[in-house]
Structure formats: C-alpha cells, structure tokens
C-alpha cells in the first residue's frame, strides 16, 4: 500500500532534522509513511497547506516563520496551542477538519524532566525572550507548578503582555535584563533567538542558584553561546535544544499515528552524528 504523507514546512528548511527524525521513528515503529521537507515562505503557506491536505496529506509540521499562520489556519485547536497562539503540528482528522497542536512545550518538558531529571515543581525559573517559543512552552511548564516564572526580554512590553495572558495559570512576572540582578534561579531557559547569530542575551552575573541548570532552545553542531555561558556559571547541566526537537517530534508522531516512538536512541544517534556524546 502507498505510504501516508507527512511534511515539514518552513523557510529556510534545508537544514531541518525533522525528516531524519520522523523516518527514524517510522522505521522503529514499523509505520508506513513518507516525510519530506518543503521550503514554504509565509506568503505561500495557506495555498501550500491547502494543496498538501487536498492531495491526501495526513499531517504537517510548521516551523519558522509559519507557526502563527498555522495557528490561524487550523479548523480547531488543542488548549495548549490556543494559549500559545502558535501551532507546530497540523493533523487531518477523520472528519476532514484540520487540528492544530503545539508540541514544543511538552517536548521541552519531557526532555527536562524525563531525559535529564530536572525538577520543575517548586523551582524558580527564568525564561529569556518573549517570542513565539516562550508562548509555546509556558502552559506545559506551568502544569508542573514551579514556584515562580520570570520572563525577561529586551522589549519589556512583550514580556508584560505574555505575563498578562498567562496570569491565570501561575505566578509570573516580567523583567528587563538589568533588573534581574540579585535574584537566583534554579533553571534558566534561553528562548531568545540570540544563539542563532552566536549572541548572548545581556545577562547580569550571579543569576544561577547552586546546582541550577541552563537550557537553550536553540541547538547546532557546536555548543551555543548560552550553553557556554551556563558552563561558565557552573551549571549542574547546561543543555541545548536537540532533545526538545526530538521530543516535540515524538509528540507530533504520536498525535498522527497513535504510536509512541522511543526517543532516547534517536537523541543518542543525532548526538553521535554531531560528534558530541549525549549529555547525562
Ligand atoms: P521569535 O523571533 O518569536 O522571538 C525572538 C526573541 O528573541 C525575542 O524575544 C527577541 O527579543 C529575542 N532576541 C533576539 N535576539 C536577541 C539578542 N541578541 N539578545 C536578547 N534577546 C534577543 O523567535 P522564537 O520564539 O520563534 O524562537 C526562539 C528560539 O527558540 C530560536 O532559537 C528557535 O530556534 C528556538 N526553538 C527551538 C525549538 C526546538 O525544538 N529545540 C522549538 C522552537 C523554537 P525582542 O522582543 O526584544 O526583539
């Protein structure tokens, strides 16, 4: 029988690891599917998605700069996607409607808590950045009842808006970078796009509590500037977002196929391929 069709849309997309990850999942779980990457700029998103689903496509992943457009495109939304105002996974349901989900946050939470045994409950968390990624990760993190989340951003009003929108879900506050001094955090999550240009948000020293951890949503073949910063702050763990990438893919795969792939062997393989051992 013909395989079911899946794809990731984004712009740029050529370096995406998603096709590799989903093909590894399909092999591992014996699912008959194809998964390709398509370069789709924002102004072509709607027509491309329509074409894809009308021609039998079963599911799409959407990445930069399409997550908000995918959120608008979906016929119905999961609660976490509704709150995040961003969709990274579209699924054609049996009734023909397109469901929009956001698996980024649960992907991050699974990488932190399951793969790396980092406790979120009752912890003091600092999130850097107030863009789509921050919106996407907040609800799943808040489910673990951290004692406090601070969102720091260069443009303070963007952080303030997010704090306002998520206020019902937990204790949140906003800050600019200079005012962060003299506070201590158990976990610092970099959800800015600074790493993509080798930069670091302007962090004052002394923010990380003893035994605290750092996590950069960005990843590359080399450790990011923020991963290096975490090491210099003597973080217990200083991790990048490769594990999150695999975990968000696994959640999308589960939504589409109803089968949960084993993620740790895929993370280990991708780490090996970029020449770094899997961080403990
Ligand atoms: P957005 O463009 O929506 O937001 C970017 C944010 O970064 C803004 O808050 C911006 O601040 C801030 N920023 C950019 N440059 C700097 C800088 N030099 N110093 C301080 N702040 C800076 O991006 P997204 O939220 O969509 O993505 C953020 C990151 O998360 C990206 O690196 C992306 O690759 C990664 N990501 C990883 C995933 C994974 O699976 N591992 C999944 C999703 C995202 P301001 O508002 O002041 O401009």
pLDDT, tens only, 191-220: 999 988 999 999 998 999 999 999 999 999
Residue 196 has what pLDDT? 85
Q: What pLDDT band is residue 26 in, cutting at 50, 70 and 90?
A: very high
Stretch 57-81: mean pLDDT: 96
Best CA proximity match to 152, nearest among 190, 184, 104:
190
Question: Is 67 designated active site?
Answer: yes
Ligand 1 binding pocket includes 248 (Cβ within 6 Å): yes
Specify the CATH architecture of the domain 105-240.
Answer: 3-Layer(aba) Sandwich (3.40)
Average pLDDT for 76-100: 96
**What separation in Å is there between the alpha carbon of 136 and the centre of ligand 1?**
12
pLDDT, residue 278, reads 63
- Please state the domain extents for the chain: 4-102+243-273, 105-240
Task: List pLDDT tens digits, range 126-181.
Answer: 999 999 899 999 999 999 999 999 999 999 999 999 999 999 999 999 999 999 98
pLDDT at 276: 75
**Tokens 């003299």 correspond to what residue?**
182
Domain spanning 4-102+243-273 has what CATH number?
A: 3.40.50.10860
* Cβ of residue 154 lying under 6 Å from some atom of ligand 1: yes
Residue 216 CB coordination number (10 Å): 28
Q: Which of 16, 105, 128, 131 to mutate to test the pocket of ligand 1 (most atoms within 8 A of CB)?
A: 131
Whether 4-102+243-273 and 105-240 share one fold: the answer is yes
**Residue in 44, 46, 67, 92 annotated catalytic:** 67
């Amino acid at each position: 029988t013909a395989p079911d069709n899946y794809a990731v849309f984004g712009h740029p997309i050529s370096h995406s690891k998603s096709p590799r990850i989903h093909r590894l999942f399909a092999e591992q779980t014996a699912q008959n599917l194809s998964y390709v990457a398509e370069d789709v700029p924002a102004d072509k998103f709607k027509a491309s998605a329509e074409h894809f689903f009308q021609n039998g496509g079963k599911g799409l992943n959407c990445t930069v700069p399409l997550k908000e457009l995918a959120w608008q495109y979906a016929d119905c939304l999961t609660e976490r996607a509704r709150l995040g105002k961003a969709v990274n996974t579209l699924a054609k349901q049996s009734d023909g409607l397109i469901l929009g989900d956001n698996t980024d946050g649960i992907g991050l939470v699974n990488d932190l808590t399951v793969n790396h045994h980092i406790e979120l409950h009752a912890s003091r968390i600092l999130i850097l950045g107030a863009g789509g990624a921050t919106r996407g990760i907040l609800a799943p993190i808040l489910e673990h009842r951290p004692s406090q989340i601070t969102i720091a951003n260069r443009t303070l009003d963007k952080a303030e808006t997010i704090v306002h929108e998520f206020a019902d879900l937990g204790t949140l506050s906003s800050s600019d970078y200079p005012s962060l001094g003299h506070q201590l955090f158990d976990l610092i999550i970099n959800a800015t796009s600074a790493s993509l240009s080798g930069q670091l948000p302007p962090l004052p020293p002394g923010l990380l509590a003893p035994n605290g951890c750092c996590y950069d949503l960005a990843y590359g073949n080399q450790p990011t500037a923020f991963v290096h910063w975490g090491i210099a702050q003597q973080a217990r763990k200083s991790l990048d977002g490769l594990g999150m990438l695999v975990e968000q893919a696994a959640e999308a795969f589960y939504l589409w196929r109803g089968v949960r792939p084993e993620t740790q062997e895929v993370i280990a393989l991708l780490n090996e391929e970029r020449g770094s051992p899997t961080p403990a």
